[in-house]
Structures are given as C-alpha cells and as structure tokens.
C-alpha cells in the first residue's frame, strides 16, 4: 500500500492499513481482539501497556506479530534479577582504533519494546525503564538521548509466580496507559485455537513469515489524525466525574469506600486521548461515552488499589471499576 504522498489522503490510507492489520491479527490470534485494539490505541497515542496473564495465552506472540506487521524496529527484553540498566539503555564502549568511547544503543532504542516478566527486573532497571516510558528519552553517563517515535513499551507479567520478583512501583504503574488482563480461553475459543494450530504449520511461531502491512511513516500519519477527533464538553465532564469517583466524589462515593489508592489526573488524560483513538479506529470523528466505558476498566484498574476490607470481601479492582461505571451517570 502506497502512503505518504498526498497530505489529505494520508490519514485515510493509514486508517485503511490499520483496519487491515486489525483484521489480520484478529484471524491469527483467536479471542485477543481487545488486546490488539489496546496495542493500536497505545501506539497511536504514545502510551504503553502492562499485560498480565498466565503462561501460554499468547501475550508475547501477539506483540511480536503486531510489530512484524507494522514493519517497525522491535526488541524483546527478558527481565531477570541480574539484568543491569546498561543492558537495556546501552553503554559507552572504548574503541581501540580511534581511542575514543562510542555509545552502543541498547534495546530500548527501538519503536516497539517487549519487556517479558517486567516484575523480575530489579529496581534500578525499572527506574531506567520509567524514564524511557515517561520522557521518551534515555540518560546515560550524563548524556540524554531522545528516542525515535513511535516508541511504545509493552510489558508482561505472570500473576501466578511472585517468588524472585520486584513489584512495580506506583510511579511506574501510572506510566502505563493500559493494564490488560488476559484470561484462559473458553471451550469454544480453545477449540478454534486448536483447529488453527493443526491447520497452519507456523501458527505457533512468534514471528511467522507474513507480509508487512504498515510502516513507521504510516503510524506517524495516523497519529496526526487523533487530535482532530471531537471530544465534547459532556464527554470531558463524564471522564472527570468517573475518575473523581475513585476518590470518593459524586455518585460513586459509596463504591469508593473500598479504594485505598485513587486514580491520578493522568487517568483522565489517558481516558480522553485513548477514547479519541478508539473513536478514530471505529471510523468516527467524535467520541461517545461508550468509548470511555469500554476503555475505563483497562485504564483505571492499574491505577487504584483496594483496601483490606474490599480484599477480604473477595473484590477485584476490575469489579470495583465496573461498579463505579454503573454508579456514575454519563450525563
């Protein structure tokens, strides 16, 4: 697909290409359409994702294929307790021929970076990752280097194994636009997965041989269209009321009694820009409250913490966010 020639046609060409990418990944990865959409939204808005799920639910495969179809630079970091900040940021190496130090970029200097089992990385590595995610830049030996756009971190963690892990600090959790939870598939979905694997030899490969659909220029063109999506005053008010409800304000005050830590203003910002991207991907130039409702659980769940009473009652953050959505009027 040829894009990038006519400025007026470029956003439409980017839209068509990304729709093709959604459809292609949806066929390859059964039941993971919500994750695919979250990946696209984050990439189009400069956000990042934290993906939690048990082993074997195609977390890594989804991100690998996503990057491959987009034809952008991709790197995978396997987080381990002995990982060093220089292993991900890069380091200065002495060149014998020139007698000078030359910087060798680490895996963070890519467009899409997968950090597998991020909670196994030690705190210093998590701190280096935090700067890259928040500022889209990396500082080594007093020198700050900008990361080329687009830049997105997709991190995974296993909710079952906690031995030898370092829980992510609140500051880093707040840097993720989405906190996506992937559950084990149902019977029908698992049968579809089985049929696909048996009929396609490379179905289990993280990076099968497929033709690229997009490129870096296409993503940058699509990004320019997102701010043009109309976000009404009513929807803006709804976003603020919903996030404020996590702090015990408004109609959600009774529900919020189970919250020990409320969402920050970054939650409102992420809800707004993510809703714009979701509307654009849906072919609309305006945001509706339904866009906000669809994205709110994945944006708010990683930003709130339950108190001991809610945990003792067996509640989850996702259940509590859904209760806040029910309690907060849209108009």
Instruction: Give, in order, the Cα–Cα distances in Å from 262 to each of 13, 157, 235, 259, 277.
Output: 40, 23, 21, 6, 25
Mean pLDDT, each 10-residue run in order, the chain (331 residues)? 48 90 91 95 97 90 92 95 94 82 92 95 92 92 92 90 77 90 92 87 64 87 95 97 92 82 94 98 96 97 89 89 92 77
- CB atoms < 10 A from the CB of 125, how many? 25
**Nearest Cα to Cα of residue 190 among 39, 32, 298, 50:** 32
The CA angle 317-280-131, to the nearest 5 degrees, is: 55
User: What are the structure tokens assigned to 55, written together?
Assistant: 């082993």
The predicted structure's pLDDT at residue 3 = 39
DSSP string, 73-135: -EEEEE--TT--HHHHHEEEEEETTTTEEEEEE-TTSSSEEEEETGGGS-HHHHHHHHHHHHH
The predicted structure's pLDDT at residue 9 = 63
Peptide bond into 110 cis (omega under 30): no
Domain end (from 205, 222, 239): 222
List the strands of the sheet with 152-157, edge to edge.
Answer: 74-78, 112-116, 152-157, 49-52, 178-181
- Residues 73 and 214 reside in one and the same domain: yes
The predicted structure's pLDDT at residue 208 = 56
Is residue 166 within 8 Å of 120, Cβ to Cβ? yes
- CB atoms < 10 A from the CB of 280, how many? 25
- Residues 186 and 309 reside in one and the same domain: no
Give the separation between CA 192 and CA 29, rounded to whole angstroms.
10
Give the separation between CA 210 and CA 208, rounded to whole angstroms.
6
The predicted structure's pLDDT at residue 22 = 94
- CB atoms < 10 A from the CB of 304, how many? 22
pTM comes to: 0.90
Q: Would 208 be classed as within a structural domain?
A: yes
Give the separation between CA 222 and CA 144, rounded to whole angstroms.
28
Give the separation between CA 317 and CA 180, rounded to whole angstroms.
12
Domain end (from 222, 244, 271): 222
User: What are the structure tokens assigned to 195, written together?
Assistant: 């049929």
Give the separation between CA 45 and CA 231, rounded to whole angstroms.
15
- Residues 202 and 79 reside in one and the same domain: yes
- Residues 29 and 119 reside in one and the same domain: yes
Is residue 101 within 8 Å of 92, Cβ to Cβ? yes
What domain range includes position 124?
10-222
Domain end (from 222, 255, 271): 222
User: What are the structure tokens assigned to 318, written together?
Assistant: 């996702």
- Residues 299 and 252 reside in one and the same domain: yes
- Residues 102 and 242 reside in one and the same domain: no
User: What are the structure tokens assigned to 73, written together?
Assistant: 């630079």
- CB atoms < 10 A from the CB of 149, how many? 13
Q: Whose structure tokens read 């980017």?
A: 14
Q: Into how many domains does the chain fold?
A: 2
- Residues 67 and 210 reside in one and the same domain: yes
The CA angle 113-216-57, to the nearest 5 degrees, is: 40
Residues 6+ apart with CB under 8 A from 224: 11
């Amino acid at each position: 697909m040829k894009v990038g020639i006519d400025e007026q046609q470029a956003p439409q060409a980017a839209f068509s290409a990304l729709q093709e990418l959604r459809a292609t990944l949806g066929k390859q990865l059964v039941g993971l359409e919500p994750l695919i959409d979250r990946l696209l939204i984050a990439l189009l808005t400069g956000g990042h994702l934290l993906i939690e799920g048990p082993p074997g639910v195609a977390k890594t495969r989804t991100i690998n294929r996503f990057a491959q179809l987009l034809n952008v630079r991709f790197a995978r970091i396997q987080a381990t307790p002995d990982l060093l900040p220089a292993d991900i940021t890069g380091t200065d190496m002495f060149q014998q021929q020139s007698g000078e130090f030359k910087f060798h970029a680490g895996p963070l200097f890519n467009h899409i970076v997968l950090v597998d089992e991020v909670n196994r990385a030690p705190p210093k590595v998590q701190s280096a990752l935090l700067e890259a995610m928040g500022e889209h830049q990396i500082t080594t030996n007093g020198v700050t280097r900008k990361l080329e756009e687009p830049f997105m971190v997709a991190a995974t963690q296993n909710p079952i194994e906690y031995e030898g892990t370092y829980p992510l600090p609140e500051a880093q959790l707040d840097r993720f636009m989405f906190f996506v939870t992937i559950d084990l598939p149902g019977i029908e979905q698992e049968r579809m997965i089985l049929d696909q694997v048996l009929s396609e030899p490379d179905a289990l490969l993280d990076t099968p041989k497929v033709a690229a659909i997009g490129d870096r220029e296409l993503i940058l063109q699509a990004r320019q269209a997102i701010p043009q999506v109309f976000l009404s005053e009513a929807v803006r008010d709804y976003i603020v009321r919903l996030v404020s409800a996590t702090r015990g304000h408004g109609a959600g005050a009774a529900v919020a009694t189970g919250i020990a830590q409320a969402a920050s203003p970054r939650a409102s910002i992420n809800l707004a820009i993510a809703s714009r991207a979701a509307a654009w991907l849906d072919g609309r130039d305006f945001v509706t409250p339904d866009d906000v409702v669809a994205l709110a659980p994945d944006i708010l769940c990683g930003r709130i913490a339950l108190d001991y009473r809610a945990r003792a009652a067996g509640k989850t953050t996702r259940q509590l966010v859904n209760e806040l959505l029910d309690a907060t009027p849209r108009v």
